[in-house]
């Protein structure tokens, strides 16, 4: 029969006379000891045998036998010992636990603390939360035969912080792979290391390495050490810091230097000219939150040449090929935003519109004295400089600009269904320099799709002639209108089509915009915030139309209708099908001199969660124009298969070359361990298969491995790469990566 002895030492021994004198209670903590065998107390020591269970505060101890010393406050446990302390489990043949300090001393021990497991001959867990392991075995693979493990003479573990190994060997299975005299691995991302063998045609076989380490509690550093057989060695240093209230401010420094042995290598068909051998990148990013409504940003990048990002930071280059250089401070408010910005040309090989500085007050749409009339506006002053790339043949120019825009709106609903928003506004812009049109020679474009202006940029052979200051005044007016009509069909039910009732919502809309231009011929205005080529319709409202220096008179009427089919799914209303159709009537439009714009259609169709279709198209239905159709289809017909097909078609646009680009991507998972992926990109107008990617994935329990290849055709210049990646699930920062397409110095 199981016996129970509940020993509450503070109370029991206070009533036992002389025995209470020699006893020191463990900080008033009650200790409960139970067993299925004998339980007794001798000379200040509680002894229990047979399925012993000891419970105290946040710790539970189970063993075949145990002793508790009330003087030293230590529990001695033997035989199938299990110690549950907070979120950790310790399993050993014998061990000692101190109730006061919570220190653990154990032999032949196993420990589990997500996400890692430890085996050791001896373990000492200290009161500050760290523990020391002798002849330890460390892994994150929770299996009887782990895929990998580290075996070390000593292991010092700091919970939720770091692990330090000494005299450590890394095993894959039972095979030793690598040995380190000393190894430091963070249990977060403060310390990590990555070794990335890589291959690219432009690099040759390469080895990219990085070590991340803490400098202080809030500052993290990273050293990059790379070697490319066709390029040579490279070194870089990065540092990140979070600071300020609640660590909400952020700063990052990035540096990189390579003495390029073959700077003339060019894997594109775009000529480069001379490229230096000493190549570098220095970047500073910062966002400082001074108060809850005032913040500043710094974004500065200095490069050795125009191609260093393309060659060594390919991931960043695809997103931002010409890094900005800007310093700004912003004051936010529910009604307004005040911004002071400085933008400068740090890299003379890139075109830059400098703002030295610019200050802008943007007043959001807000009612005037709680009336139904709303006001919005924008006022700014700027010292502007258009600086072209060095040796480009173009001539730089600059001016001071003061711009002020003000608009009144009266949004209202009539008859309970018709929404009308009339508006009227005024804009005045002062320039202290303009172009002298009497001395400028130019040939107007005959293409009706090309804008009447701006004029070509000034060159050395056709230089800019200035004509002093001028003030341009703009008046604008317009009205937006829309209403909705709907009808429901509750009997529209189809599991195949994902229908649980159907509602059709029709929303016709219109926007009429009139703008006058008085005081200055728009072709005389120097271009800074200028019109950029695009296949999309331009905004016809202020302040959404941001090309301030390209404003001209216009009268444009935009007409359209939105159709939505809605159904119920998962206790929510979702859009099953959507079609937006619209076009412009150009009474006067300096940016499109046809009478009618293209007819635009945007289609979104999601009949079931695993199928989606998107089509964005525009066709010259009413007048001359170009054709553009962008189609994307995504489907997951079975749980293990995903397919994506896309097509971009562009024909007869005056700014962009014709294109018929097909893309295909897919992923198939054979089972829990194997999967394959493919991606193709084919340009039909040139007959070039621009990119091919193939990958095979293998789940190795605690690791994920993938092997693949890539082939790119950059206008007749081909680039090849191979990829083998190993990622450790528990610690993604800890791994050995074979990479064919690194973003540069270890980046993807």
Here the CATH number for the domain that contains residue 77 is: 2.60.450.10
HSE, CB side, 13 Å, CA atoms: give it for residue 348.
5
Task: Tell whether 620 is covered by a domain.
Answer: no
pLDDT of residue 9: 35
Task: Tell whether 92 is covered by a domain.
Answer: yes
Task: Tell whether 421 is covered by a domain.
Answer: no
Interatomic CA distance for residues 384 and 360, integer angstroms = 13
Task: Tell whether 178 is covered by a domain.
Answer: yes
Does the pLDDT value for residue 443 go beyond 80? no
pTM, two decimal places: 0.75
Task: Tell whether 554 is covered by a domain.
Answer: no
pLDDT of residue 167: 87
Task: Tell whether 116 is covered by a domain.
Answer: yes
Task: Tell whether 210 is covered by a domain.
Answer: no
What's the start-to-end Cα distance of the chain, in Å? Answer: 65
Mean pLDDT of 487-516: 95
Interatomic CA distance for residues 124 and 120, integer angstroms = 10
Does the pLDDT value for residue 374 go beyond 60? yes
pLDDT of residue 103: 84
pLDDT of residue 726: 61
**Residue 388 confidence class, pLDDT cut points 50, 70, 90:** very high
Question: What per-residue string of b and e applies to 4-26 under the rule 16 or more CB within 10 Å gives b?
Answer: eeebebbeebeeeeeeeeeeebb
Mean pLDDT of 228-251: 93
Supply the range of the domain harboring residue 91.
Answer: 3-186
Highest mean pLDDT among 182-186, 530-534, 616-620: 616-620
Token pair recorded at residue 207: 């080895």
Interatomic CA distance for residues 81 and 85, integer angstroms = 13
**Residue 442 confidence class, pLDDT cut points 50, 70, 90:** low
Do residues 559 and 583 lie in contact, with contact meaning Cβ atoms separated by under 8 Å? yes
pLDDT of residue 187: 62
**Residue 356 confidence class, pLDDT cut points 50, 70, 90:** very high
pLDDT of residue 746: 45
Question: What per-residue string of b and e applies to 402-414 under the rule 16 or more CB within 10 Å gives b?
Answer: ebebbbebeeeee
pLDDT of residue 13: 32
Token pair recorded at residue 127: 């009161």
Number of domains in the chain: 1
DSSP letters along 147-160, please? Answer: SEEEEEEEEEEETT
Question: What per-residue string of b and e applies to 708-746 under the rule 16 or more CB within 10 Å gives b?
Answer: bebbbbeeeeebebbbbbbbbeebebbbbbbbbbbbbbb
Quick: pLDDT tens for 269-297.
888 889 999 999 999 999 999 999 999 99
Quick: pLDDT tens for 397-428.
999 999 999 999 999 999 999 999 999 999 99
**Residue 88: CB atoms within 10 Å:** 16
The strand pairing partners of 668, in sequence order, are 641, 676
SS3 317: helix
Does the pLDDT value for residue 647 go beyond 80? yes
By mean pLDDT, which of 124-138, 552-566, 570-584, 594-608 is the weakest? 124-138
pLDDT higher for 655 or 502?
Answer: 502
pLDDT of residue 470: 94
Does the pLDDT value for residue 29 go beyond 70? no
Token match 């790339």: residue? 389
pLDDT of residue 115: 61
Helix (H) or strand (E) holding 241: strand 232-243
Does the pLDDT value for residue 735 go beyond 60? no
Do residues 27 and 49 lie in contact, with contact meaning Cβ atoms separated by under 8 Å? no
311 burial level (CB within 10 Å; 0-12, 13-18, 19+)? buried
Task: Tell whether 85 is covered by a domain.
Answer: yes
Mean per-residue pLDDT over the chain, rounded:
85
SS3 19: helix
């Amino acid at each position: 029969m199981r016996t129970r002895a509940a020993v509450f030492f503070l109370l029991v021994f206070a009533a036992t006379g002389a025995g209470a004198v020699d006893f020191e209670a463990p900080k008033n903590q009650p200790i409960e000891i139970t067993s299925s065998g004998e339980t007794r107390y001798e000379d200040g020591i509680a002894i229990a045998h047979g399925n012993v269970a000891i419970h105290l505060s946040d710790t539970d101890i189970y063993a075949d036998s145990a002793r508790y010393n009330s003087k030293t406050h230590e529990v001695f446990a033997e035989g199938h010992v299990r110690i549950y302390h907070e979120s950790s489990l310790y399993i050993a043949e014998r061990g000692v636990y101190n109730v006061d300090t919570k220190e653990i001393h154990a032999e032949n021990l196993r420990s589990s603390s997500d996400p890692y497991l430890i085996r050791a001959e001896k373990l000492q867990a200290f009161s500050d939360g760290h523990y020391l392991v002798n002849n330890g075995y460390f892994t994150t693979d929770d299996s009887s035969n782990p895929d990998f493990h580290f075996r070390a003479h000593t292991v010092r573990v700091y919970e939720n912080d770091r692990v330090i190994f000494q005299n450590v060997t890394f095993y894959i299975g039972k095979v030793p792979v690598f040995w380190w005299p000393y190894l430091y691995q963070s249990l977060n991302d403060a310390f990590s290391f990555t070794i990335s063998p890589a291959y690219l045609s432009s690099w040759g076989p390469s080895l990219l390495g990085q070590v991340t380490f803490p400098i202080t509690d809030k500052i993290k550093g990273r050293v990059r050490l790379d070697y490319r057989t066709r390029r040579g060695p490279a070194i870089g240093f990065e540092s990140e810091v979070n600071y300020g209230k609640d660590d909400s401010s952020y700063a990052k420094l990035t540096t990189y230097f390579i003495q390029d042995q073959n700077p003339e290598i060019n894997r594109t068909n775009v000529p480069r000219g001379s490229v230096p051998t000493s190549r570098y990148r220095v970047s500073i990013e910062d966002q400082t939150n001074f108060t809850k409504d005032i913040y500043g940003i710094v974004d500065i990048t200095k490069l050795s040449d125009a191609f260093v990002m393309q060659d060594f930071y390919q991931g960043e280059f695809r997103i931002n090929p010409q890094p900005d250089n800007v310093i700004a401070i912003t004051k936010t408010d529910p009604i307004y935003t005040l911004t002071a910005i400085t933008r400068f040309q740090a890299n003379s090989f890139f075109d830059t519109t400098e703002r030295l500085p610019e200050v802008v007050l943007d007043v959001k749409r807000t009612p005037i004295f709680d009336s139904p009339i709303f006001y919005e506006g924008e006022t700014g002053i700027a010292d502007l400089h258009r600086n072209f790339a060095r040796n480009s043949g173009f001539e730089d120019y600059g001016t001071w600009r003061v711009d002020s825009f003000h608009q009144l709106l009266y949004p209202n609903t009539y008859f309970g269904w018709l929404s009308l928003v009339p508006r009227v506004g005024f804009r005045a812009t002062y320039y202290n320099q303009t172009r002298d049109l009497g001395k400028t020679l130019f040939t107007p474009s005959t293409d009706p799709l090309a804008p009447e202006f701006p004029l070509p940029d000034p060159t050395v052979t056709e230089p800019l002639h200035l004509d002093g200051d001028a003030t341009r005044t703009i008046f604008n007016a317009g009205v937006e209108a829309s209403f909705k009509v709907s009808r429901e069909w509750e009997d529209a039910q189809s599991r195949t089509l994902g229908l649980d009732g159907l509602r059709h919502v029709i929303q016709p809309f219109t926007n009429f915009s009139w703008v006058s231009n008085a005081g200055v011929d728009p072709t005389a205005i120097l271009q800074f915030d200028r019109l950029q080529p695009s296949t999309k319709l331009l905004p016809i409202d202020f302040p959404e139309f941001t090309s301030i220096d390209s404003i001209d008179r216009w009268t444009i009427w935009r007409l359209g209708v939105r159709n939505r089919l809605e159904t119920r799914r998962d206790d929510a209303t979702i859009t099953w099908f959507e079609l937006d159709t619209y076009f412009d009537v150009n009474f006067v439009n300096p940016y499109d001199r046809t009478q009618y714009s293209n007819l635009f259609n945007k289609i979104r169709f999601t009949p079931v969660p695993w199928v989606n279709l998107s089509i964005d198209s525009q066709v010259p239905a009413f007048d001359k124009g170009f054709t553009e159709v962008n189609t994307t289809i995504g489907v997951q017909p079975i749980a293990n298969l995903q397919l994506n097909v896309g097509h971009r078609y562009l024909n007869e646009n005056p700014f962009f070359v014709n294109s018929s680009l097909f893309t295909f991507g897919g992923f198939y998972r054979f089972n829990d361990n194997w999967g394959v992926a493919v991606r193709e990109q084919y340009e039909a107008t040139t007959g070039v298969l621009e990119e091919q990617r193939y990958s095979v994935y293998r789940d190795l329990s605690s690791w994920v491995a993938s092997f693949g290849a890539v082939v790119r055709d950059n206008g007749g210049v081909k680039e090849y790469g191979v990829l083998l990646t190993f990622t450790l699930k528990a610690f993604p920062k800890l791994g050995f990566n074979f990479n064919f397409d690194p973003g540069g110095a270890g980046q993807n």
